[in-house]
């Protein structure tokens, strides 16, 4: 049994240990086929069992350090294999079992399935985490070119729109906001990170958004009043575009009357209002009231950190829906 690139987990460290595992299983198999004695088989089985335990421990340290979201299920698989291997080794040592074809088939099937499915997901996650860490480091240092290289590499690898926007852009900006809240970065650094992220999102348009088939539906997306935090609203607009809609993004500082005029021109299915600062809630309510009086049947979506966790400010109008995330927006679009 030989390890080939077909079994790569997309992580060099994990692949090296897998190559050793494949080699140990193959040595055990060859020794069984040659009818080598119990002592040789026992030594090989013990070596394999020990290495499996060490390999699993190494993977579990990596998963814990990176807070791997699938760690529980992955460790459960490890525990099942570990118990079976240790049980076989103990019974073999007591002379209660032999190295059989059935055992070798189990080991080979486990190695192939575990490396190509479970461990590959872990390896992919490790690669994403490393790129995320590198991206955030470059983002906070103002390294526009470094960020661009990472994003272009991801686009060349055909990363999904969701993974790029949610897994990289949104997550990196959440991390930036956390650092600002802890006074670990300045307002200027936060604004620089936002500007760079907006320019990175612009790279996606010619490669992803412009190639999405249109469905004839329209959305108008805007930030309420003098709101200057436009990144979230831009992500919302791009999500509509990626999913086939024509989205009209107005940014901030659009007078309400101008917004209403555009709604009359474009006849959208939905208006999306973004509010990041709580002091703009009153302006949000005014915008909703004027929109509702002019376009009583128009559905309105609201989002942004100003609404906190519950979006209580929008609950008074049954035609205004509060969305907490891009995932919820995608779900709404899918049902629209």
Who contacts 86 (Cβ-Cβ below 8 Å, separation ≥6)? 49, 53
Q: How many CB atoms lie within 10 A of CB 258?
A: 12
Contact present, 112 and 7 (Cβ < 8 Å): yes
What digits encode the pLDDT tens for the residues 101-141? Answer: 777 888 888 888 888 888 998 988 888 888 999 999 999 99
Burial 107-116 (b: 16+ CB within 10 A, else e): beebbeebbe
Structure tokens at 27: 């040595």
Distances in Å between the Cα of 64 and the Cα atoms of 68, 77, 108, 161 are 6, 16, 27, 27
Q: How many CB atoms lie within 10 A of CB 12?
A: 10
Q: pTM here?
A: 0.69
DSSP string, 44-85: HHHHHHHHHHHHHHHHHHHHHHHT-TTHHHHHHHHHHHHHHH
CATH number of 5-130: 1.20.120.50
Q: Could you list the beta-strand ranges (E) of the chain.
A: 218-223, 246-249, 270-274, 299-303, 320-322
Q: What is the pLDDT along the chain (336 residues), one digit of tens a residue?
A: 788 888 888 888 999 999 999 999 889 888 888 887 788 888 888 899 899 999 999 999 999 998 898 999 999 999 998 888 888 888 888 887 676 777 788 888 888 888 888 899 898 888 888 899 999 999 999 999 999 999 999 888 888 888 889 889 999 998 998 999 899 999 999 999 999 999 999 888 776 666 778 899 999 999 987 766 789 999 999 999 999 999 999 988 889 999 999 999 999 999 999 998 888 888 998 999 999 999 999 999 999 888 764 555 565 667 789 998 898 999 999 998
Location of structure tokens 């979506």: 301
- What's 214-334's CATH class? alpha beta
Helices (runs of H) and strands (runs of E) counted in the chain: 13, 5
Who contacts 172 (Cβ-Cβ below 8 Å, separation ≥6)? 132, 135, 136, 139, 193, 197
Instruction: Please give the Cα distance from 6 to 107 (Å, whole number).
Output: 17
Helix, strand, coil % in the chain, rounded to nearest 5: 70, 5, 25
Residue 335 C-alpha from the chain's centroid = 23
* pLDDT in the model for residue 308: 67
Contact present, 208 and 256 (Cβ < 8 Å): no
Q: Could you give phi then psi for residue 238, rounded to 5 degrees?
A: -65, -35
* pLDDT in the model for residue 124: 84
Structure tokens at 129: 């985490």
Q: Across-strand partners of 274?
A: 223, 303
């Amino acid at each position: 049994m030989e390890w080939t690139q077909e079994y790569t987990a997309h992580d060099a460290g994990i692949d090296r240990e897998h190559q050793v595992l494949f080699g140990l299983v193959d040595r055990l198999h060859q020794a069984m086929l040659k009818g080598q004695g119990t002592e040789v088989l026992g030594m090989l089985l013990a070596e394999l069992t020990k290495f499996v335990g060490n390999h699993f421990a190494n993977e579990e340290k990596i998963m814990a350090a990176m807070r791997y979201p699938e760690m529980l299920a992955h460790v459960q698989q490890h525990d099942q294999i570990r118990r079976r291997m240790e049980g076989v080794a103990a019974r073999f040592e007591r002379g209660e079992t032999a190295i059989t074809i059935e055992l070798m088939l189990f080991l080979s099937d486990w190695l192939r399935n575990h490396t190509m499915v479970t461990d590959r997901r872990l390896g992919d996650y490790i690669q994403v985490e490393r790129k995320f860490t590198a991206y955030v480091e470059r983002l906070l240092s103002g390294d526009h070119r470094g960020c661009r290289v990472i994003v272009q590499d991801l686009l060349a690898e055909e990363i999904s729109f969701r993974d790029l926007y949610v897994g990289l852009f949104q997550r990196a900006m959440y991390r930036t906001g956390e650092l600002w809240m802890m006074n670990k970065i300045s307002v200027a650094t936060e604004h620089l990170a936002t500007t760079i992220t907006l320019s990175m999102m612009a790279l996606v348009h010619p490669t992803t958004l412009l190639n999405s088939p249109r469905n004839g539906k329209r959305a108008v997306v805007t930030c309420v009043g003098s709101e200057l935090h436009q990144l979230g609203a831009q992500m919302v607009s791009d999500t509509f575009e990626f999913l086939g809609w024509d989205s009209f993004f107005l940014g901030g500082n659009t007078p309400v009357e101008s917004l209403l005029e555009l709604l009359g021109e474009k006849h959208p299915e939905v208006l999306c209002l973004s509010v990041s600062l709580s002091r703009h809630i009153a302006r949000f309510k005014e915008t909703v009231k004027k929109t509702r009086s002019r376009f009583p049947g128009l559905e309105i979506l609201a989002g942004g950190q100003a609404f906190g966790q519950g979006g209580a400010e929008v609950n008074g109008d049954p035609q205004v829906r509060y969305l907490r995330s891009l995932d919820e927006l995608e779900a709404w679009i899918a049902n629209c």
